């Protein structure tokens, strides 16, 4: 979908680290997305089924309401913990591996105080192979230039090319995700957007505060004195980003009402099958524990879907 690496418009110069096997690959994104998805499905289906089975077993007689309430809070809490921690797993390992590659290529990003970020070449949150980041790399805030060294994109922006730095939305989430947007001016004077996400965050909840910290640093950089001699010739030779479009999906396309309802139907179907397999009754006369399972699955699906529904834009 993203084309061959050497022909891609954002591909770095020959001899750069991007000639090696890609770390932040489509396969990496797929594995991370699959792990998060399976964990959420296990919570969404497993917690209600276990809760209903405990109520059905009679192990705690006359305490079914307490069991059902506990199941609800455990399920909701487990989902929130999972959605907070799972999506950012693996980025710390990527950082150390990529920093080692950069050092082998002659650039010590730690000495240059490089900021580990996710990069997206658009002016809004978009999805690139099941991820809101198209690339990852190090953002170098130099006295005169802003440089990004990633696997697929390597570019530099002079201070006078940066028209505006602002805080903007991240993907739909309960955690208030934010990204730092940089509007820059090309050779024709046209304003082009791009954005960065702090990839050092150990949880989704940390992304917003770290994005504000990155914004403050870039705002200070814009008004600080410039020194063109303080940058290496290799970094000074980096050109501006290529403005060719990178294949992606909007949030509205990836999470349309039709898709959300399809996921809801699948979840309810799997829950019904699981309830049947463990012999949970659907009949109210028998306790209707299976109906509790279906209700819980719907509530947990709603918990996932609400951030997307709250965004103006999802269309069937």
pLDDT, tens digit, 9 for 90 and up, residues 128-165: 988 999 999 999 999 889 999 999 999 999 999 999 99
Residues 6 or more apart in contact with residue 32 via CB below 8 angstroms: 87, 89, 90, 131
Residues paired with 158 in a beta bridge: 145
pLDDT (mean) for 217-227: 89
260 within some domain: no
| pLDDT over 70, % of the chain | 91
Percent residues over pLDDT 90 in the chain: 74
- Express each pLDDT in 60-108 by its tens digit: 777 889 999 999 999 999 999 999 999 999 999 999 999 999 999 889 9
pTM, entire model: 0.87
Domains in the chain: how many in total? 1
- Which residue from 186, 178, 182, 185 is spatially nearest to 194, judged by alpha carbons? 182
In which residue are the tokens 């659907």 written? 282
Query: Higher pLDDT residue, 232 or 259?
Result: 259
**Cα gap 16→126, rounded to integer Å:** 27
Mean pLDDT, the chain, integer: 89
Q: Three-class SS of residue 250?
A: strand
Instruction: Judge whether 127 lies within some domain.
Output: yes
The two structure tokens encoding residue 87 = 């999506």
pLDDT tens per residue, range 172-203: 999 999 999 999 999 999 999 999 999 999 99
Q: How confident is the model at residue 231 (pLDDT cuts 50, 70, 90)?
A: low
User: Is 187 among the domain residues?
Assistant: yes
Domain-located, residue 85: no
Lowest mean per-residue pLDDT among 5-9, 115-119, 223-227, 296-300: 5-9
Please give the average per-residue pLDDT across 22-37, as a whole number: 91
Beta strands in the chain (DSSP E): 115-120, 126-127, 135-141, 145-150, 154-158, 162-169, 178-185, 191-198, 249-250
pLDDT of residue 281: 96
Among 300, 223, 311, smallest CA distance to 264 is for: 300
In a domain, 116, yes or no: yes
Report yes or no on 280 lying in a domain.
Answer: no
Check residue 254 and give its pLDDT. Answer: 86
Is the pLDDT at 232 greater than 90, yes or no? Answer: no
C-alpha span between 128 and 30 (Å, rounded): 11
Does residue 83 fall inside a structural domain? no
CA–CA separation, 300 vs 294, rounded Å?
10
pLDDT of residue 162: 97
- Domain span holding position 121: 107-252
Q: State the pLDDT confidence band at 244, using cuts at 50, 70 and 90.
A: confident
Instruction: Judge whether 89 and 73 are in contact, CB under 8 Å.
Output: no
Pick the most confident of 28-37, 41-50, 304-313: 41-50
Among 230, 254, 234, 157, residue whose Cα is nearest residue 196: 157
- Residue 75 domain flag: no
pLDDT, position 4:
34
Residue 132's domain is classified under what CATH number?
A: 2.30.29
Asked if the model's pLDDT at residue 315 lies above 60, the reply is no
């Amino acid at each position: 979908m993203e084309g061959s690496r050497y022909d891609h418009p954002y591909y770095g110069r020959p001899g750069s680290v991007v000639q090696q096997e890609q770390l932040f690959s489509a396969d990496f994104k797929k594995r991370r997305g699959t792990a998060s998805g399976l964990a959420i499905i296990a919570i969404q289906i497993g917690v209600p089924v276990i809760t209903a089975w405990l109520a059905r077993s009679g192990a705690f007689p006359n305490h079914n309401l307490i069991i059902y309430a506990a199941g609800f809070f455990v399920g909701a809490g487990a989902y929130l913990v999972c959605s907070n921690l799972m999506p950012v797993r693996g980025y710390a390992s990527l950082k150390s591996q990529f920093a080692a590659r950069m050092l082998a290529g002659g650039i010590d990003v730690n000495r240059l105080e490089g900021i580990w970020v996710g990069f997206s070449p658009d002016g809004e949150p978009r999805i690139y192979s099941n991820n809101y980041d198209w690339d990852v790399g190090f953002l170098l805030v130099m006295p005169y230039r802003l440089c990004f060294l990633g696997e697929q994109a390597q570019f530099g922006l002079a201070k006078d090319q940066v028209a505006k730095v602002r805080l903007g939305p991240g993907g739909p989430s309960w955690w208030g995700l934010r990204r730092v947007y940089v509007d820059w001016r090309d050779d024709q004077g046209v304003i082009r957007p791009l954005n960065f996400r702090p990839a050092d965050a150990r949880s989704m909840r940390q992304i917003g505060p770290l994005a504000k910290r990155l914004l403050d640093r870039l705002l200070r950089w814009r008004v600080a004195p410039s020194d063109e001699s303080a940058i290496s010739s290799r970094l000074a030779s980096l050109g501006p980003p290529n403005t060719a479009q990178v294949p992606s999906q909007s949030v509205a396309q990836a999470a349309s009402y039709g898709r959300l309802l399809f996921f809801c139907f699948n979840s309810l179907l799997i829950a019904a099958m699981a309830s049947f397999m463990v012999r949970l009754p659907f009949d109210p006369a028998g306790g209707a524990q299976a109906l509790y399972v279906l209700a819980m699955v719907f509530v947990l699906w709603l918990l996932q879907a609400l951030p997307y529904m709250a965004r103006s834009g999802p269309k069937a």
